[in-house]
Copies of this chain bind each other. A is one copy, B any other.
Amino acid sequence: MRGVAIVGIGCTKFGEHWNKGIKELAVEAGIKAIEDCKISGKDIQLIIGGNMSGGMFAGQEHISALLADQLGLNPTAAIRTEAACASSAVALRVGYLAIMSGLYDIVAVGGVEKMTDVYGSQAITTLAGAMDQETEAYFGLTFPGAYALIANRHMYEYGTTREQLAMVAVKNHKNAIHNPIAQYRKAITVSDVLESPLVADPLRILDCSPITDGAAIVILTSADIAKKYTDTPIYIKASAQASDTLSIYDRKDITTLSATVKAARDAYAQAKIKPKDIDVAEVHDCFTINEIIAYEDLGFCKKGEGGKLIQMGETEIGGRIPVNTSGGLKAKGHPVGATGVAQIIELVEQLRGEAGKRQVKNCEWGLAHNVGGSGATVVVHILSNNR
């Protein structure tokens, strides 16, 4: 079976871009990705773009055709994918399938979200589109609220502490200092988190990922031809996805994301490795509790021991399994439709050995974990610098 490689990467700075819209962000990322490898725009045979809610954030749908147009790539076919905050991880999966089909050799995959052109509660209303409207959002549940319920239950079941949640944010801010694209490049302390304004008990504002503008694009080729376009191809060794209920009331256990467990199991089987083989991981820390749950669901520690894992420093750069070396969604920023591919870009930089002061030593295997909503969609990719 043919393989798939990532040969080029491009990402905008994440943050508030008051002077750039969807088009400018996507074009900037696209040009960087093309310049990062020996490919020109006309070589690209298919474009897959993730975007969660261009309609509600900016009145703009038909996002991928817009990207093809703005990048000067017409008549190249363009498809938008959406799976809430996992929209661009599913774009990567579709790009992967397109190359695996044998019908395409070179595919551009990306994500974009323009979130800051909103007022009042528009951002929270839009993001609630990832929930089941009829059973959650209409009754006033928000995403911080949903993850607060999850956090409380995790604390009750496993003794996870408020301080352990804070340590996730502290670590991710520390990592972001060395990431030039990150939204918040400044250190914070556990007491900063504990003293920050309460959003939904127990989650405080420094437990929450921010509202962010940004775009991230990668260029895929079939593995056979990758070395024509770059000296450092990174291979997609697994692409797995699973679904769960949109509503958390409908789940047997809210301290785990069952779709993470399923997607991770499938991904490890595809890559023929075990969790202990992963050298670096980007996980979906939309709220601090979700990074702790991801540790457990991805098999980096036993169920209930995620809090201890962060406390022991095991997920720091230099620890046993460094997580969110980019700064994560918390500090790098979370332009929802771009996040999945941005995670991939961090792994590519790590696996190429180009991550500068964030570099994890002797990286061979990287894992990306992207979550839509409160876990109704989970996508896990495993990358390697070794074909």
Contacts and interface: CB of A to CB of B under 8 A. Distances in A.
Contacts of A100: 101-103
A75 B252 CA distance: 14
Copies, count: 2
Interface in A204-261: 240-246, 250, 258-259
Contacts of A69: 132, 243-246, 250, 376
Interface in A299-319: none
**Main secondary structure on chain A at its contact with chain B?**
mixed
Contact of A83 (B65, B84, B132): B65
Nearest to A262: B75
B244 A75 contact: yes
A57 to B, nearest CB: 9
A246 B79 contact: no
A241 B73 CA distance: 13
A73 B56 CA distance: 28
A67 to B, nearest CB: 9
A77 B129 contact: no
Given A79-B83, A102-B1, A103-B100, A59 B133 contact: yes
Contact of A62 (B78, B97, B130): B130
A134 B77 CA distance: 22
A5 to B, nearest CB: 16
A376 B65 contact: yes
A250 B68 CA distance: 14
Contacts of A349: none
Interface in A42-70: 51-56, 58-66, 68-69
A134 B59 CA distance: 10
Contacts of A73: 243
A61 B93 CA distance: 19
A61 B131 CA distance: 8
A74 B129 contact: no
Interface residues of A, number: 66
Contact of A59 (B80, B102, B137, B243): B137
A80 B81 contact: yes
Nearest to A68: B243
A364 interface: no
A76 interface: yes
A23 interface: yes
Interface string A345-379: 00000000000000000000000000011001100
Contacts of A246: 62, 65-66, 69
A36 interface: no
A23 B133 CA distance: 11
Among A55, A56, A244, max chain B CB count under 10 A is at A55
A155 interface: no
A317 to B, nearest CB: 32
B56 A84 contact: no
Given A80-B83, A94-B79, A61 B243 contact: no
A243 B76 contact: yes
Interface of A: 1, 21, 23, 51-56, 58-66, 68-69, 73-84, 90, 93-94, 97-98, 100-103, 125-126, 128-134, 137, 240-246, 250, 258-259, 262, 372-373, 376-377
25 contacts: A56-B56, A59-B129, A60-B129, A60-B133, A62-B83, A62-B130, A62-B372, A62-B373, A62-B377, A64-B83, A68-B243, A69-B244, A69-B245, A74-B243, A74-B244, A74-B259, A75-B244, A76-B243, A77-B93, A79-B81, A79-B82, A94-B94, A97-B98, A97-B103, A100-B103
